[in-house]
Amino acid sequence: MISFEIPEYVRQQNDQIRMVAESQMRPIARHYDEHEHERPTAFNEFMWQVMAMQQQMAAQRRAQREAEGAPRPKRPSTTNLRQLFMFEIMSWGDAALLLTIPMPGLGGAAIEAVGTPEQKERFLNHFYEGDMKWGAMAITEPGAGSDTANIQTTAAYDAETNEWVLNGEKIFITAGKMAGEMPGSFVVVWATVDKSAGRAGIKSFIVPAGTPGFTVAKVEHKLGIRASDTAALVFENCRIPYENILGSPEVQDATETRGFKGVMKTFDASRPVVAGGALGIARATIEFVKEKLDEAGVAIRYGLPRHKLTALERDFMDMEAQHKAAWLLTLRAVWMLDNERPNTLEAAMCKAKAGLAVTRITQKAVEMLGPMGYSRQWLVEKWMRDAKINDIYEGTGQINMLIVARRIFGYSSRELK
Ligand SMILES: Cc1cc2nc3c(=O)[nH]c(=O)nc-3n(C[C@H](O)[C@H](O)[C@H](O)COP(=O)(O)OP(=O)(O)OC[C@H]3O[C@@H](n4cnc5c(N)ncnc54)[C@H](O)[C@@H]3O)c2cc1C
């Protein structure tokens, strides 16, 4: 049965993350919003040390267990639950700074989901050793956003050198600049090995930073999450080793989409995490509005019939209800993932709901707080700008709702577009 009980060790981890969000992120959030493209180096270095220490301690625990011949402790996996909380709490601290943290990111999630043990060893197991590194995931192109099956970037196999040769352009890639330029970093790139095969020809490839033919073409100026670098990447005869393909190089016939489905599986893990990030902003906003209402002596009268409430009370309760509903959907999607149950429907559902909820909650907060809500003195206007991206990346709200509809009514992507 699904359980919303949070294990004690996850609570303890959350307390530590909360301290980081409060002391290291909130105080610098406005500065990096106003200084787009300035790197939060001190914060990144601090986080790198924390993550390196955690990876080291986990490796030590594993080694000790193996030396003692002790079995792995028997408890349900909480890997995705912990990841969800990390994103929620850090996003409460600052959603943009969270995206600057040196980590494998969505590229790492793809390797984790479909990579071979050798690829995991090469790109993930020693990630936090040495200098800071970043990972990124590059799917979107000038002519392929929601319609991922229309990807034009090509990966041609060169039998003479046993390499893949990539050609194409990717746009709006989160952490693309750091992942493309910092030694040891990597980008997971979606490309087609056979355009005539449609979806079945689309595969993903790990491209290490600094590979000749791989360049960061530009960094975007944005409405929100301005501390996060969002870059355009170009691949011109970019050669990578054969072993850098994720999953099988086989192309099934055009009606077979197993390979494509394999890469799409990454979204089942990443969408709930993005939903968690959205809900961190939503919680920050609700808490802030509550604080301001308390200061103004306005109490929310829970329990009264709706028609007896003031408009403000109704609006505030709606914000809380939207937040709670999205959070429960997200917990369900993550619980299913940790318990190895297929969750494509639930992942799309929670992402669609959380993206919409955070957009509405932050807009309503700006509205409720009057001119001060719109002022740069408070962070609410920034949260409203930061919120919208959660309804765009990892599948827009419309696309996620389309997935939900297909899954519920049993339509294929060809039948319901
Ligand atoms: C800040 C930022 C960071 C990003 N980071 C990454 C990243 O790290 N990696 C990456 O690969 N991409 C990234 N993206 C790209 C993002 O995933 C795409 O913008 C998104 O998938 C939408 O694609 P598009 O922009 O081409 O819009 P389009 O697909 O052109 O859609 C435009 C509008 O039409 C709607 N629409 C499209 N098709 C349908 C349909 N069938 N039914 C109903 N409505 C539809 C969409 O919902 C949207 O509202 C990022 C984007 C931004 C802005």
Looking at the CA of residue 394, tell me the nearest atom of ligand 1.
17
- The three-point CA angle 325-378-38 to 5° equals 100
Name the one residue in this structure whose structure tokens are 């109704």: 314
Same domain assignment for residues 151 and 218: yes
Q: At what angle do helices 26-34 and 380-387 cross, to 10 degrees?
A: 70
The CATH number that applies at residue 399 is 1.20.140.10
* Domain-ending residue, one of 252, 284, 313: 252
Number of domains forming the structure of the chain: 2
Q: Half-sphere exposure of residue 13, counting CA atoms within 13 Å on the CB side?
A: 19
Output the residue whose Cα is nearest ligand 1's atom 26.
145
Separation of 3 CA from ligand 1 center, angstroms? 33
Residue 73 falls inside a structural domain? no
CA–centroid distance, 256 to ligand 1, in Å, is 25
> Does the C-beta of 153 come closer than 6 Å to ligand 1?
no
The DSSP bridge partners found for residue 170 are 233
Of 220, 252, 284, which marks where a domain is finished? Answer: 252
Please tell me the predicted confidence (pLDDT) of residue 114. 84
Quickly count helices (H) and strands (E) in the chain: 14, 8
Nearest Cα neighbor of 280 from 312, 321, 318, 326 is 326
**What is the number of other CB atoms lying within 10 angstroms of the CB of residue 223?**
10
Q: Are 239 and 317 members of one domain?
A: no
CA of 396 to the centre of ligand 1 (A): 6
Considering only CA atoms, which of 349, 351, 373 is closest in space to residue 362?
A: 373
Q: Any long-range contacts for 219-222 (C-beta under 8 Å, 24+ apart)?
A: 219/37, 219/176, 219/177, 220/172, 221/36, 222/36
| Rounded distance from Cα 351 to ligand 1 centre (Å) | 14
pTM (whole model) above 0.75:
yes
Same domain, 291 and 239: no
pLDDT at 385: 98
146 touches ligand 1 (CB under 6 Å): yes
Residues 6+ apart with CB under 8 A from 227: 29, 32, 33, 36, 40, 94, 96, 97, 99, 100
End-to-end CA distance of the chain: 34
Same domain, 270 and 377: yes
Domain hosting residue 310, numbered range: 265-409
Q: In sequence order, which residues have a C-beta less than 8 Å from that of residue 19 and are 6 or more positions away?
A: none
- Of the candidates 341, 344, 336, 353, the one whose C-alpha atom is nearest the C-alpha of residue 276 is 353
CA 8 from centroid of its chain's CA atoms? 25
Within-domain flag for 81 = no
Name the packing angle between helices 79-98 and 8-20 (round to 10°): 10
Digitized pLDDT (tens) for each residue of the chain, 417 residues in all: 777 788 999 999 999 999 999 999 999 999 999 999 999 999 999 999 999 998 888 888 878 888 888 776 667 788 899 999 999 999 999 999 999 999 999 999 889 888 899 999 999 999 999 999 999 999 999 999 999 889 999 999 999 999 999 999 999 999 999 999 999 999 999 999 999 988 889 999 999 999 999 999 999 999 999 999 999 999 999 999 999 999 878 876 444 445 566 667 889 999 999 999 999 999 999 999 999 999 999 999 999 999 999 999 999 999 999 999 999 999 999 999 999 999 999 999 999 999 999 999 999 999 999 999 999 999 999 999 999 999 999 999 999 999 999 999 999 988 998
80 C-beta closer than 6 A to ligand 1: no
CA separation (Å) from 100 to 40, 105, 241, 266, 352?
A: 8, 10, 28, 21, 24
Asked whether 172 lines ligand 1 (CB < 6 A), one says: yes
Confidence (pLDDT) at 409:
96
pLDDT (0 to 100) of residue 74 = 66
**414: buried, middle or exposed (CB in 10 Å: 19+, 13-18, 0-12)?**
exposed
Shared domain for 246 and 299, answered yes or no, is: no
Looking at residue 113, its pLDDT comes to 81
- Residues serving a catalytic function are 394
Q: What is the pLDDT of residues 226-275, one digit of tens each?
A: 999 999 999 999 999 999 999 878 876 444 445 566 667 889 999 999 99
What is the spatial distance between Cα 192 and Cα 155, in angstroms, rounded to a whole number? Answer: 6
Task: State whether 223 and 314 are in the same domain.
Answer: no
pLDDT of residue 417: 87
| Helix ranges (DSSP H) in 129-265 | 176-181, 258-264
Ligand 1 proximity of 138 Cβ (cutoff 6 Å): yes
* Residue 155, strand partner residues: 166
Whole-number pLDDT of residue 255: 47
What pLDDT, on a 0 to 100 scale, did the predictor assign at position 262? Answer: 64
For ligand 1, atom 12, the nearest C-alpha belongs to 140
Of 173, 218, 356, 393, the one to substitute when testing ligand 1's pocket (max ligand atoms within 8 A of C-beta) is 393
CATH code (residue 215): 2.40.110.10
The pLDDT, as a whole number, for residue 263 is 67
Domain limit, last residue, from 252, 286, 302: 252
| 3 state DSSP class of 187 | strand
User: Which backbone phi and psi does 234 adopt, to 5 degrees?
Assistant: -120, 140
